[in-house]
Amino acid sequence: MLGQKTAAQALAPEALRGILDAKCCELLRRPTMGINLSAASVDGASLFLPVLQEKLEELAPKLQEEGFVEKFQFMNLAREVDRDPADAPEMCKRYLKQVKRLVRDHGEWHG
């Protein structure tokens, strides 16, 4: 989604087709679950589109900081990154710390 200017562009069919390809293991191994998960993600995003749009613009600089996404990519098994299983406990700790910080700094509810 970072490559898109707006949340609407990120949810456009062309953008989604770029994500839902042969590299998506859920679509290959469990097609119905892959479709279900992608539908749930898009449905959830569409419910929060106004807030998502605002947050994407606010968070984009942080997401592009050096090393910020490293821990998220490590924990996302669909990403093809170098992983050493011995690093998992430390990366998990860093991941949860970053999520906690994001929720603290940007997680207000707009209900």
Residue 67's region, left for phi above 0, alpha for psi from -120 to 50, else beta, is left
Domain around 75: 65-111
Same-domain status, 39 and 18: yes
Shared-domain flag, residues 22 and 38 = yes
Looking at the structure, do residues 36 and 47 belong to the same domain, yes or no? yes
State how far the alpha carbon of 51 is from the alpha carbons of 27, 35, 39, 97, 111, in Å.
28, 25, 19, 23, 10
Structural domains counted in the chain: 2
Q: Considering only CA atoms, which of 9, 99, 21 is closest in space to residue 52?
A: 9
Same domain, 20 and 58: yes
Q: Report d(CA 83, CA 72) in Å as an integer.
A: 12
- Over its length of 111 residues, how does the chain's per-residue pLDDT go in tens digits? 445 567 677 777 777 767 666 666 666 677 788 778 778 877 887 787 777 777 777 777 877 777 777 888 888 877 788 888 899 898 889 888 888 887 787 766 544
